[in-house]
């Protein structure tokens, strides 16, 4: 792949999970799905919960099949998942990557746009004292909020407006991140950490780096 960095970016926005902090252990989220159905008096097979987590889908049909209001269920599921992740962090999970410290060398406004719950993002920023980000968005705990997740560019465009950015860069670890950046008409960087070392992309990012230190090196050389 041929890197096509712009000459001068005016902001950098980051995905969260897998970029700034380690991904959530999948079973934590599976537990949250099972517990949410149970709170409504429904026992579901754990394999069903695993599938919704793996596919990152909103289980609207599953909720309706059990006579549940999808909006009420999803709101409860989002709250349960956020609280479960917060407990996971307090127990030592979901650590910040060491190379996040390198971002302090960037003389650019920084932001976060994540598909995780907004409440989870706010907790992580406070828990880890990540105060270098001027704006941060996660999904709202509604069906409409879920529909705005990446690869849609809604939350990303909000962050760009907050940062007053016209030539921004979005850094992520998934194909959805690259697509969202394209839809927002900005450049993208695929961060190929160990957990996505073998991922094959069907869309091409502007550039690819192995870690955030490498990203910082490129951006500081440009300025």
Who has greater pLDDT, 1 or 78? 78
Who has greater pLDDT, 113 or 7? 113
The pLDDT of 181-209, averaged and rounded, is 97
Residue 222 has pLDDT above 80, yes or no: no
**How high is the pLDDT of residue 162?**
99
The pLDDT of 54-82, averaged and rounded, is 94
pLDDT level of residue 223 (50, 70, 90 thresholds): low
- pLDDT-wise least confident of 43-52, 80-89, 119-128: 43-52
Secondary structure element (H or E) that encloses residue 190, with its range: strand 187-191
Query: In this predicted model, what pLDDT tens digit does every residue of 125-141 receive, in sequence order?
Result: 999 999 999 999 999 99
Round the average pLDDT of the chain to a whole number and report it.
Answer: 96
For the chain, which domains are there?
A: 11-23+95-222 (3.40.50.1000), 26-90 (1.10.150)
3-state secondary structure (DSSP) of residue 213? helix
Give the residue from 107, 87, 109, 102 showing the smallest Cα distance to 168.
109
Its pTM surpasses 0.85? yes
Give the residue from 106, 61, 56, 101 showing the smallest Cα distance to 81.
56
**How high is the pLDDT of residue 67?**
95
Query: In this predicted model, what pLDDT tens digit does every residue of 73-97 receive, in sequence order?
Result: 999 999 999 999 999 999 999 999 9
């Amino acid at each position: 792949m041929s890197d096509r960095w712009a000459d001068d970016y005016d902001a950098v926005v980051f995905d969260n999970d897998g970029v700034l902090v380690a991904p959530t252990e999948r079973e934590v989220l599976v537990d949250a799905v099972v517990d949410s159905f149970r709170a409504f008096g429904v026992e579901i097979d754990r394999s069903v919960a695993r599938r919704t987590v793996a596919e990152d889908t909103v289980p609207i049909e599953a909720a309706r099949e059990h006579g549940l209001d999808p909006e009420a269920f999803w709101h409860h599921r989002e709250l349960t998942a956020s609280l479960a992740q917060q407990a996971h962090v307090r127990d030592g999970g979901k650590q910040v990557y060491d190379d996040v410290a390198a971002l302090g060398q960037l003389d650019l406004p920084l932001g976060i746009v994540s598909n995780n719950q907004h409440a989870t993002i706010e907790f992580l920023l406070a828990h880890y004292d990540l105060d270098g980000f001027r704006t941060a968005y996660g999904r709202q705990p509604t069906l409409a909020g879920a529909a705005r997740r990446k690869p849609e560019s809604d939350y990303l465009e909000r962050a760009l407006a907050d940062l007053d950015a016209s030539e921004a860069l979005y850094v992520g670890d998934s194909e959805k991140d690259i697509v969202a950046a394209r839809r927002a008409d900005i450049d993208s960087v695929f961060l190929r950490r160990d957990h996505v070392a073998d991922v094959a992309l069907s869309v091409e990012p502007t550039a690819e780096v192995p870690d955030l230190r490498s990203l910082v090196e490129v951006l500081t050389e440009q300025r």
